[in-house]
Structure 1
Amino acid sequence: MSTPSDLTGKTVSWLEQLEQLLGGNAQLCFRDLFLEDSYWRDLVSLTWDTRQFWGGAQVEPMLLKHARAAGMRDLRLDPDRSAPVQAVIDGVVFIEAFFAFTVEVGKGKGFLRLQVGEGGAELRAQIIATSLVSLDIAPDVAQRHPGHGYEPEYPGQTFSEWRRAKGDFSGADPDVLIVGGSQSGVSLGARFERKGFTSYLIVDRSASPGDTWRKRYDALALHTNTPANDLPYLKLPSHWGEFLSKDQWADWLDSYARLMNLNCSYSTELVSGSFDEGSRTWEVVLRTADGDLRTLRPKHVVMAIGGVGGKPRIPGFPGLDQFQGEVLHSSRYKNGKRFKGQKVWVVGSSTTAHDICLDLYHSDASPTMVQRGATCVVGIQEVQKFTADYLKVSVEEADQRRDSTFILPLLVKRTQGVTAQSDIEYAELHEGLRKAGQKLTIGEDRTGWLMKLFRDLAGYYLNVGCSDAIISGGVKVLDFNRIDHFIANGARLHDGEVVEFDALVLATGYEDQSVDIAGIFGPEMARKIGRGIGLNEEGEYRNMARPTGQPHLWMMLGGIIDARKSSDVLAMQIIAQLRGLVPTLVRQASGSVAPLQADLQTTGEAISGQA
Structure 2
Amino acid sequence: MGSPEVAIPSRPSSSLGFHPELKVHSQGLSSPSRAFLSLPVPTASPADIALSWLRSFSNTVLTPSADGLSACFALDCHWRDLLALSWDLRTVSGQTIIAGALLDWVSHVHPRWFRLQPGSADLNSPYDGLEYVSGSCSFETDVGICSMRFNLVNTARGWKAWTVVSSLDALKKRSDSASATENGAEDSQRDPTVVIVGAGQCGLAVAARLAHLGIKSLLIERDPRIGDNWRNRYSNLCLNTPTKYSELPFMSFPSTWSRWPSGKALAEEMEDYPRKLGLQVWTSSSLVSASFDAPARVWNLQVRVADGETVRRLSPRHLVIATGVGTLSGLTPRIPRLHGRESFSGTIMHSSAYQTGQDWNGKHAVVVGAACSGQDIAQDLHKNGAQVTIIQRSPISIISRERLWVLFNGEKLYGEQSTFPTDVADRMIQSTPTSVSVKMLHPIEQKLKFMDQELYTGLQKRGFLLPDDDDSFLHRLLVRRGGYYVNGGTCELIMDGKIAVKAAVQPSALTGNGVLLSDGTEVRADLVVFATGYDKNDLRDYTSNLLGPDVAKHVTATGLWDKEREISGVWRPSGHEGLWFAGGDLFAARFYSQVLALQIKAREDGLV
TM-score (norm 1): 0.83
1:304-347 CA distance string (max 9 Å, x none): 12225554333323332332211122222221111001001112
2:510 match: secondary structure: strand
Q: Distance in 2 between matches of 1:138 and 1:336?
A: 57
Select the residue among 308, 313, 316 that pairs with 1:298.
Answer: 316
AA matched with 2:136: F
| Cα deviation, residue 107, structure 1 | 0.5
> What corresponds to 2:422 in structure 1?
395
1:473-484 pair list within 5 angstroms:
473-479=497-503, 481-484=505-508
2:444 aligned partner: 418
Counterpart of 1:255 in structure 2 is 272
Find the counterpart in structure 1 of residue 375 from structure 2: 354
Matches within 5 A, 1:86-235: 86-88=123-125, 90-116=128-154, 122-137=158-173, 172-198=190-216, 200-235=217-252
Q: Is the 8 A contact 2:346 2:527 kept in 1?
A: yes
Distance change >3 Å, CA 13–CA 495, structure 1 → 2:
closer
Q: For 1:29, what is the secondary structure of its paired residue?
A: helix
Inter-partner Cα distance in structure 1 for 2:272 and 2:594: 20
Q: Distance in 1 between matches of 2:91 and 2:501?
A: 42
Provide the C-alpha distance between the structure 1 equivalents of 2:553 and 2:479, rounded to a whole number of angstroms: 20
Q: In 2, are the aligned partners of 1:416 and 1:446 still within 8 Å (CA)?
A: no
8 A Cα contact 2:393 2:506, kept in partner: no
SS of equivalent to 1:314? coil
Do the aligned residues in 1 keep the contact of 2:391 with 2:506 (CA within 8 Å)?
no
Offset at residue 225 of structure 1 (A): 0.7
Give the CA deviation at 1:222. Answer: 0.9
Is the Cα contact below 8 Å between 1:312 and 1:329 reproduced in 2?
yes
Find 2:472's aligned residue among 436, 447, 451.
447
Alignment partner, residue 336 of structure 1: 357
Letter aligned with residue 231 of structure 1: L
Match of 1:135, as an amino acid? L
> SS at the partner of 1:346?
strand
Q: Bigger shift: 255-264 or 7-16?
A: 7-16
Letter in 2 for 1:462: V
Residues 237-258 of structure 1: per-residue CA shift (max 9 Å, x gap): 3342100111111111122221
Runs of 4+ with >6 A deviation: 25-28
Match of 2:113 in 1: 74
Q: Distance in 2 between matches of 1:246 and 1:136?
A: 39
Asked if the contact 2:66–2:99 (Cα under 8 Å) also holds between the matched residues in 1, the reply is no
Q: CA separation of 1:122/1:205 partners in 2, compared to 1, >3 Å: closer, same or farther?
A: same
Give the match for residue 156 of structure 1: none
* Most deviating of 550-559 and 358-367: 550-559
Query: What RMSD in Å do the two structures reach over aligned CA positions?
Result: 2.9
Deviations 1:141-198 (A, max 9, x none): xxxxxxxxxx999xxxxxxxxxxx96x6xx6432211111121111111111111222
Shift in alpha-carbon separation, 1:486–1:91, aligned structure 2, 3 A:
same
Match of 2:566 in 1: 540
2:512 corresponds, among 461, 478, 488, to 488
Q: Label 1:418 to 1:285 Cα distance change in 2 as closer, same or farther (>3 A).
A: farther
Whether the 8 Å CA contact 1:455–1:533 is kept in 2: the answer is no
Query: In the alignment, is the contact (CA less than 8 A) between 2:61 and 2:69 conserved in 1?
Result: no
| Greater alpha carbon shift after TM alignment, 569-578 vs 475-484 | 475-484
Aligned to 1:289: 306
Rounded to whole Å, the distance in 1 between the matches of 2:499 and 2:358 is: 16
| 1:211, distance to aligned residue in structure 2 (A) | 1.7
For the 8 Å contact 2:357–2:384, the answer to whether it is kept is yes
Q: What's the % identity of the aligned pairs?
A: 31
Name the structure 2 match of 1:22. Answer: 61
Quick one: distance in 1 between partners of 2:549 and 2:462?
44
Q: Given the alignment, which residue of 453, 456, 459 partners 1:430?
A: 456
**Structure 2 residue matching 1:290: 3-state secondary structure:** coil
Partner SS, residue 430 of structure 2: helix
1:40–1:63 CA contact under 8 A, matched in 2: no
Give the letter for the 2:471 counterpart. R
Q: Distance in 1 between matches of 2:386 and 2:430?
A: 44
Shift of 1:59: 0.9
Kindly indicate whether the alpha-carbon contact (under 8 Å) linking 1:187 and 1:231 is maintained by their aligned counterparts in 2.
yes
The 3-state SS of whatever aligns with 1:262 is: coil
Of 438, 448, 459, 2:483 maps to: 459
Q: Which amino acid aligns with 1:267?
A: S
1:375 is aligned to 2:396: yes
Quick one: structure 1 residues 265 and 224, their matched pair in 2 at CA, closer, same or farther if it must change by over 3 Å? Answer: same
CA positional deviation for 1:23: 1.5
Distance 1:240 1:282 in 2: 41
Task: Look up the equivalent residue of 1:183 and give its one-letter code.
Answer: Q
Change (3 A) 1:478 1:285: farther
Deviation at 1:553, TM superposition (A): 1.8
User: Match for 2:143: what amino acid?
Assistant: V
Question: What is the distance in 2 between the residues matched to 1:230 and 1:269?
Answer: 27
Counterpart in the other structure of 1:592: none
Q: Kindly tell me: are residues 370 and 524 of structure 1, through their superposed partners in 2, closer, same or farther at Cα, counting changes over 3 Å? A: farther
Q: What secondary structure is seen at the aligned counterpart in 2 of 1:236?
A: coil
| Matched residue, 1:559 | 585
Write the distance in 1 (CA, Å) between the matches of 2:404 and 2:223. Answer: 30
Equivalence for 1:157: none
More moved, 49-58 vs 484-493: 484-493
Provide the C-alpha distance between the structure 2 equivalents of 1:134 and 1:510, rounded to a whole number of angstroms. Answer: 37
Structure 2 partner of 1:142:
none
Q: Indicate the structure whose relative CO is greater, using CA pairs within 8 Å and at least 6 residues apart.
A: 2
- Answer yes or no: is the 8 Å Cα contact 2:184–2:214 preserved in 1: no
29-38 or 537-546: which moved more? 29-38
Secondary structure of the corresponding residue to residue 499 of structure 1: strand
Distance apart, 1:283 and its partner CA: 2.4
What residue is the counterpart of 1:569 in the other structure?
595
- 1:369: Cα distance to partner? 1.1
- 1:272, 1:285 within 8 Å by CA — same for their partners in 2? yes
State the partner residue of 1:158. none
Q: Please list every run of 5 or more consecutive structure 2 residues that lacks an aligned counterpart in the other structure.
A: 1-9, 14-43, 176-182
Contact between 1:311 and 1:510, CA under 8 Å: does it hold in 2? yes
Sort the Cα spacing of 1:271 and 1:435 in 2 relative to 1 into closer, same or farther, 3 A: farther
Letter paired with 1:88: S
In 2, the alpha carbon distance for the partners of 1:406 and 1:424 equals 26
Which AA in structure 2 matches 1:405?
T
Between stretches 41-50 and 569-578, larger displacement belongs to: 569-578
Measured after TM superposition, the shift of residue 370 of structure 1 is: 1.8
Q: Which deviates more from structure 2 when the two are superposed, residues 262-271 or residues 305-314?
A: 305-314
The alpha carbon displacement at 1:379 in A equals: 1.3
Q: Which amino acid aligns with 1:299?
A: R
Cα displacement (A) at 1:532: 5.4
Match of 1:384 in 2: 405
Question: Would the aligned equivalents of 1:344 and 1:503 in 2 still touch at CA under 8 Å?
Answer: yes
**How many residues are treated as equivalent by the alignment?**
549
Residue range with higher mean Cα deviation, 351-360 or 519-528: 519-528
Deviation at 1:504, TM superposition (A): 1.3
- The alpha-carbon distance between structure 1 residues 407 and 329, as it changes in their structure 2 partners (threshold 3 A), is closer
Structure 1 pair 530/365, CA: closer, same or farther in 2 (3 Å)?
A: farther
SS in 2 for 1:267: coil
Q: 1:506-525 alignment to 2 at 5 Å?
A: 506-512=530-536, 514=539, 516-522=542-548
Structure 2 SS opposite 1:404 = coil
Q: 2:287 aligns with which of 270, 274, 298?
A: 270
Read off the aligned partner of 2:472 and give its amino acid letter: T
Retained in 1: the 8 A contact 2:78–2:433?
no
Distance 1:313 1:138 in 2: 50
Contact map agreement 2:74 2:155 (CA 8 A) in 1: no
